[in-house]
Structure 1
């Protein structure tokens, strides 16, 4: 694959907001993502759930298909692909709000891109956020994080540290944890509805869910360790 690809689910009666969904990957690989990779299958399910929930509301959804499966160190290939996608979404839809949703490596990629123009909210699911991951660009942005407390692939402590640093840098952060691991399979409905509610609020199609709104308004540890 020479460039990324976007699987589009356009709003039937015109687009008032866009949500971009970015699946997980691996630390290092220059091979294309597998068509049946669990990370891709799970993110497609989330995207379809959100699209159905927003039916008739003017939300167009896009699933990003990366060029390669890996982050690949300084190349940060997934982040580069998200930026490529944002350029094309802005060219197609103009100045509509854009909400970014990413899982694992995709969570890292969308958090990196959270300071891009028109991004109104970032929803990071079990994001892979190594120590030192940048946060200053998120100042003034809305960031919602959900992480499994039993995650063995990407420990929840990583997103807790990231959330603290991002909040200190001036981001509006709400971080929640849920029973289960990395694959978003256990209590799948909790993952799906969390994303739906963050996306619809970021798109201006629904009010912010009360528990998310309360967490965003708080500062400190209480806002970053809410259990669902």
Structure 2
């Protein structure tokens, strides 16, 4: 796959808002990204947000990266995320965008928090490294992390959230897969998206 792919629902043009979902991956891999577990983990969130915002002319997009890995300085999924934001601006000019990412996708979402039209970022169990750059101000940011996560670091998420002034939600007993408390996670994501877009509407 030489270009990223979007699975889109909602208005094809001139939506009032776009919600872009970003799946996880691996630290290093140039293998093509497939609809594996990391990708499928985002599908219930996509469906829940689409149902919650039904009738509000909101487009929901699930991005599939070109390759599975972050790949060091190449930052391949960030490149793909910027491509998706360009598509959002092209198809839905002026529409506010909310990003929802899990694991590597959470890191991508935080890297894109300062991009034009991004009004909200919800990072779930993000993979964060020491020295992670701070996003430019403007977007509302929520980071949530399971306390029992052994894949990515809840402590790193808490420190990063404090450093950038983001909201942080620790989730006792939850692991990286976010499967022990599915209703909680669904409500967290749908509530954040609705709030971020509602705040944007009120500001207008």
How far off is 1:74 after superposition?
Answer: 0.5
Query: What residue in structure 2 maps to residue 186 of structure 1?
Result: 180
Give the whole-Å Cα distance in 2 for the aligned partners of 1:33 and 1:12.
Answer: 24
Q: 1:197 to 1:104 in 2, by over 3 A?
A: same
Structure 1 residue 138: Cα displacement: 3.1
Shift in CA distance, 11/201, structure 1 to aligned 2, threshold 3 Å:
farther
Which runs of no fewer than 5 residues in structure 1 stay unpaired? 168-172, 209-228
- Structure 1 residues 90 and 193 mapped into 2: Cα distance closer, same or farther (>3 Å)? same
Q: 1:166 deviation in Å?
A: 1.1
Write the deviation string for residues 162-212 of structure 1: whole angstroms up to 9, x where unpaired: 112212xxxxx111011310011110111111111111122228999xxxx
Report if the CA contact (8 A) 2:34-2:64 is conserved. Answer: no
1:94 aligns with 2:88: no
Partner Cα separation in structure 1 for residue 105 and residue 13 of structure 2 = 29
The answer on whether the counterparts of 1:146 and 1:175 sit within 8 Å (CA) in structure 2 is yes
Structure 1 residue 141, shift from structure 2 partner: 2.6
Q: Deviations over 1:60-106 (max 9, x none)?
A: 10000000000001001111110010001100000011001100000
Name the structure 1 match of 2:114: 115
Please give the alpha-carbon distance, in whole angstroms, between the structure 1 residues aligned to 2:75 and 2:12: 34
Partner of 2:128: 129
User: Which string of whole-angstrom CA distances, capped at 9 and with x for unpartnered residues, describes residues 32-73 of structure 1?
Assistant: 1232x2211110111111111111012110000000000001
- The question of whether the paired residues in 2 share the 8 Å contact of 1:7 and 1:64 is answered with yes
Contact 2:69 2:77 in 1 (8 A): yes
> 1:96 touches 1:118 (CA, 8 Å); kept in 2?
yes
State the SS of the aligned residue for 1:176.
strand
TM-score, length-scaled by structure 2? 0.93
* Residue in structure 2 matched with residue 170 of structure 1 by the alignment: none
Indicate the larger mover: 158-167 or 71-80. Answer: 158-167
In the alignment, what sits opposite 2:158? 160
Q: TM-score, normalised by structure 1?
A: 0.84
